[in-house]
Structure 1
């Protein structure tokens, strides 16, 4: 299989046994007790750690990795009146679920030619098993302190998938941890979501928060910066990832206008246009509302007065209270006459109490002395890192 991997579009392949994952089970129990789960996971911890509950008489698990790019070539420039957001690198190209599914089906076909009695069950991300736990035990890479699987060749810029089989394949040897004493990723996490080496509080992780659908608190919105989907900070700062940018997988190559889109057009985008623009990306799975909310957050963090009219229109007309309340917050940071007039009207007459309250808070922030605002907003906007990794 190792020799065939490149012809199958697979960058790394490894095998582990189908035995349970008892250490993972212990970690997941603690994770749940502390309230660190995102809610997107398979809730049954037995299914997450016992392959035999998912597949009859499993003998081995094949893990695969497909590399994706870490840099945008000639990225479009964000400038006044034309501010841009950024998608995480894992969402730059074609939806990785589809990419990995094609690779796993190709691998299954290759195996069936040689072992007709093959039975198999593949998973990518949304399956019950932990992709990272399987990949670590199969020797794809070690588990970094940022909870990412990484190796010296691809770094952590890899999609993971696995296939449970009935074949008694020889297992590979796990790779020894090479993070050493380095804690750069933990120190750089914008929200402190990395609570310890290999320990993530998903409820605080910006990647999770950008995919949530509700209102976000003001501190979180400031830290989101101009991120529309996901967060790459803990990977960008990792020394192992320095200089790694694999671009040989065609489906993973980004369209710069999708990876780093203009924010203002997102505010007016309907469902059809959203699907046409982002439907091929994994960023589309939660629909347009989180992306549009995050676009408002980005405009607020840019404080670009040229966007005030468009943001004010969202506050006046959007039927979703979450977007109106977020628009109010953004206008409080953008300031200016347009922002103040829209906030005054919303604070007095919006149909939703939550929006009225958000508008009132934004008015207070808008009227705060400039010196006080500068002190409160230190480090407010995350620099877009898409060309720096």
Structure 2
């Protein structure tokens, strides 16, 4: 059997959602049928402050070949300027268009991991075998698709459906879309988290990246209200980024909650952190009263730590989500948080609902056959 050649295109190999997604697919794809190569839109020796490559080593352990953009550079001019400016990456040289097109033409499927990785100068022959995996959302960045031609026959893949799909892709006239959610390899057969009865200090965790596209303001306001309930509670924010540079310290000072909020920095393994820190609850950014927005929320659910979401989607919440509770109302958000922190029965119930939901609906081993069928369908067409 001749293997189909798949090219994953990634911006980098940092611990980001798109990079994680590419790895989770690579580790379960049937390598007797598919051969994966990865193109990174950065130079091999390029370094970026405060960021360290991670998934390049993970892919290499799988035997996956990695190509960096150094291979396609003309020395004197800047490479893929639009992409690089957005990613705040500085490089030397400009892409050799002919060399790049020749390289891309060798593959049966081009899987662009993130709408920001897409190379807009593709000929139709390459566009027809391209899948653009949307890894961001318009609620985070309204100008997300400004560089796309809304009348072009793109093929998108995402976890959006229903009203989300209409909102996200409503400007496009001819696209084809495949639903495929964030998936990963489920490591636990049962939850690891247990309810802690009467700890001296209740602890709430937020797992995120300190970034303007991931605002924490609603959580800070909610935490201020929570403290007014005469409860000994701390808020621990885990994730890379400088709270001073991102303007968060001044917000905490203005709310008079600085002494109870702790920025803990990047965590190598958030599931391990969630258990070892003995957290009582986690708060997450949610999307459309449906799910936590990103891998971190599902990782947390996979160990059983209960989470509650603040909904950042533009629509009103019309019905209660019993599995992934979403709120736009601070009072209700705080009331539910108190219930989970103080009530063992409620906490265990939510923990088990979320754990089972993730196990049943996010297991990459259950979904990978669907992606393989999609690859075959696009390759035939």
Q: Which TM class, normalised by the smaller chain length?
A: under 0.3
Higher-RCO chain (CA-CA 8 Å, sequence separation at least 6): 1
TM-score (norm 1): 0.26
Greater percentage in helix:
1
